[in-house]
Structure 1
Amino acid sequence: MQVAFELPTPISTDVHRILVANIDAIVGGIGDKRLVHVMNMFHAAVAPEIRTPRDATRYTNALSITWPAVEGEVDLGDFIAIEAMRLFQPSIYRAIRDNQSLVCEATRDHFKKDEGAARLDSILLPKIENRKHYRDALVRLFPRLDAIWGSTVHGGSGRYDKDRRLASSRHFQTYFRMSIDPDAISRSELAEVLKHVSNEERIAALLRTAVTQVRRDGTTRAMAWLDALISHGNEIPIDAAEPFLRGAFAAAGEVNVDADQAKGWSFGNNLLRIRWLLNSVLMERTSLEERSRILLAAVRDAPLVWLGNLTASAWEQRHPADQDKRPKAEDDCLLTDADTDALRDIFLERITTAAAEGSLINMPDLMRPLYLWGHFLADDTPLRDWMADRIEEDASLVVLANEFTSHSWGQSSDDLVSVRSDRAAVSGLDGLMDPERFRANLVALQARLEEGSDAADAVGRFLKAWEYRDEHGDW
Structure 2
Amino acid sequence: MRLFPQLQNVFANMSYSGTREWARQRRVCSSEHFDTYFRFSVSLKTIPKAELDYLLDASRTVKEIQNRVREAIGITQAEGRTKAAYILDELTTHGPNISFEHGEKLLTALFGMADELLLDQDEGRGFASYGDNGLRLHWLLRSILRDRTTLEERSELLGRAVAAATLQWHVDFSNSAWEDYYPSNPDREPSSEAETLTTEALAEQLRGQSLDMLRTAAADGTMLSAKRPDRLLFEWDRLQSDEAGEVIAYTTQALEDDVKLCQLASAFLGKSYSHGMGGFGGEPGDLVQRENDRAQVNGIDRLLNVDEFRRRLSETLQSDALDGQQKSTISRFLTAWDPRDSGED
Aligned position for 2:231: 368
Corresponding letter in the other structure for 2:256: E
**1:350 lines up with 2:221 in the alignment:** no
The equivalent of 1:256 in structure 2 is 118
Aligned position for 1:381: 245
Q: Is 1:316 aligned to residue 179 of structure 2?
A: yes
Deviates more, 1:330-339 or 1:417-426: 417-426
Q: Which residue of 2 aligns with 1:225?
A: 87
Which of 81, 87, 97 in structure 2 is aligned with 1:235? 97
Pair 1:193 & 2:72 matched:
no
1:463/1:205 Cα in 2 relative to 1: closer, same or farther (>3 Å)? same
My pick for the range that moved more, 210-219 or 458-467, is 210-219
The TM-score with structure 2 as length reference comes to 0.85
Matches within 5 A, 1:208-223: 208-215=70-77, 218-223=80-85
For structure 1, which runs of at least 5 residues remain unmatched after alignment?
Answer: 1-34, 45-135, 144-153
**Structure 1 CA distance, aligned partners of 2:27 and 2:126?**
22
Percentage of matched positions with identical amino acids: 32
Task: Supply the distance in 2 between the matched residues of 1:186 and 1:157 (Cα, whole angstroms).
Answer: 19
What CA deviation, in whole Å up to 9, does each residue of 1:329-372 have, x standing for no partner?
23311111101001001111111112111111211111222111
Q: Is the 8 A contact 1:197 1:203 kept in 2?
A: no
Give the 3 Å change call, closer, same or farther, for CA 241–40 of structure 1 in structure 2: closer
The one-letter code sitting in structure 1 at the alignment partner of 2:36 is T
- C-alpha change, 1:242 and 1:324, in structure 2 (3 Å) is same
Q: How does 1:82-121 map to 2 (within 5 A)?
A: none
1:247 aligned onto 2:118: no
Amino acid at match of 1:292: S
Cα distance in 2 for partners of 1:316, 1:305 equals 17
- Look up the match of 1:57: none
3-state SS in 2 of match to 1:214: coil
Please say if 1:418 is aligned against 2:289: yes
Query: Is 1:445 equivalent to 2:316 in the alignment?
Result: yes
Pairs aligned (count):
334
- Structure 2: any 5+ residue segments left out of the alignment? 278-284
How many Å apart are 1:465 and its aligned residue? 1.5
Q: Which residue of 2 aligns with 1:22?
A: none
Structure 1, residues 393-451: CA drift from partner, whole Å, max 9, x if none?
Answer: 11112222221122222224432232222221111111111111111111222333699
TM-score, normalised to structure 1, is: 0.64
CA RMSD of aligned residues (A): 3.0
Give 1:245 shift.
0.6
Q: 1:40–1:339: structure 2 CA closer, same or farther, 3 Å change rule?
A: closer
Q: Which has the larger Rg? A: 1
Residue in structure 2 matching 1:432, options 303, 306, 330: 303
Flag the 1:430–1:166 CA change in 2: closer, same or farther, 3 A.
farther
Secondary structure of 1:408's counterpart equals strand
TM-superposed CA distance for 1:306, in Å, is 0.7
2:282 corresponds in structure 1 to none
Of the structure 1 ranges 425-434 and 406-415, higher mean CA displacement relative to structure 2 is found in: 406-415
The 1:170/1:459 distance shift into structure 2, 3 A limit, reads farther
2:164 paired with 1:293: no
The DSSP-based 3-state class of the residue aligned with 1:246 is helix
Q: Is the CA contact (8 Å cut-off) linking 2:44 and 2:78 kept in structure 1?
A: no
Alignment partners' CA distance in 2, 1:282 and 1:293: 12
Aligned to 1:455: 326
Q: CA deviation at 1:459?
A: 1.6
Note the C-alpha offset of 1:213: 2.6
- Checking the alignment, whether the CA contact within 8 Å between 2:32 and 2:45 is kept in structure 1 is no
Answer whether contact 2:300 2:306 (CA < 8 A) is retained. yes
